[in-house]
Amino acid sequence: MAKSSIYFLSALLIVGTSCTQREWYKKELTEEEKEQYAPQIRSGGFYSNYQGSVGEQMHQKEALALDSTDAGTWRELGTARVKRAILDEMYYFYGEAVERHPEKWAGFRGYLYLYFYRDYERAIADFNLGDEVNGQVDFSQGQSHDYMRGISYYGLKEYETALDFLDRYINKVIEVEGESWVDVYAMLYRGLSLMQLNRFDDAMAEFDRVLKYYPQLSDGFYHKARIYVARGQFDLALKELEKAEVNFKKGYFHQRPYVEVLEQIYLQDIEKLRKEISTS
């Protein structure tokens, strides 16, 4: 009887094990499963590995093997190239992403063309494409396409058009949210555009508005000093340069990760302008 009980329990254990056994690895996936799993593998890549690392890139290629239509994976492959200045591969991967999902990624590529490559015409074309497919002035990387179009036209030295788009962005934010919600650097580029058009009084007022919302910004003081120099008011220019230098050394100046911003100032610029004043 005891022997029979042992055999009975063993059989029960075998049955129980086989009933709860899981299929850990599937050799074949349905198209629906591939579409479901690809974004999960893509996300796991950059959440668990450094972006652009071997491990992260393997995740992206595995995701692409499952679903070659996933625009997010193409874009992620391009992003790693952007940060490593591998331009030809960035064009290819981001191009695949935009082709598959322009409403989501055209503006992002425009952002890269603007800030990373200063390819202003391509940037504008992408902002226009994004707005066209979405039926509105859109945002990418948290920035209005009108705002970035304004900077792009500034880079092309088309200052009147730059002003037009910067004004569109600024006025819309003021209307909806209030002036304090305007990106202060949009005001900065508006002031710079006015300076390029020799509208010094308007530019001075714009830099004062910049400093109203960012009282430590070295750029505001530096560009005010430039206007005072143009007017021959050298004592006032020196006072502004002193404030520009103090705040610059504290790190309060317009800058971005990875790239130099358009019209970025350096300590040497402040020192150079001071020397020009001393010899005037």
Q: Tell me: the pLDDT tens digits for 133-146? A: 999 999 999 999 99
**9 or 182: whose pLDDT is higher?**
182
Please give the tally of structural domains in the chain: 1
User: Could you read off the pLDDT of 70-113 as tens digits, one per residue?
Assistant: 887 878 888 888 877 788 888 898 998 999 999 999 999 999 99
Whether 8 is covered by a domain: the verdict is no
pLDDT for 79 = 81
Range of the domain at 271: 183-280
- First vs last C-alpha separation in the chain: 115
SS3 state of residue 143: strand
Q: What pTM, to 2 d.p., does this model score? A: 0.80
Distances (CA, A) of 108 to 83, 138, 141: 14, 11, 7
Residue 266 covered by a domain: yes
In a domain, 277, yes or no: yes
CATH value at residue 200: 1.25.40.10
Write the CA distances from 37 to 40, 73, 76, 91, 235, integer angstroms.
5, 12, 16, 26, 66
Residue 91 lies in a domain: no
Does 105 map to a domain? no
Least confident of 15-29, 44-58, 221-235: 15-29
Asked whether residue 98 is assigned to any structural domain, the reply reads: no
Would 145 be classed as within a structural domain?
A: no
Q: Is residue 225 one of the residues assigned to a domain?
A: yes
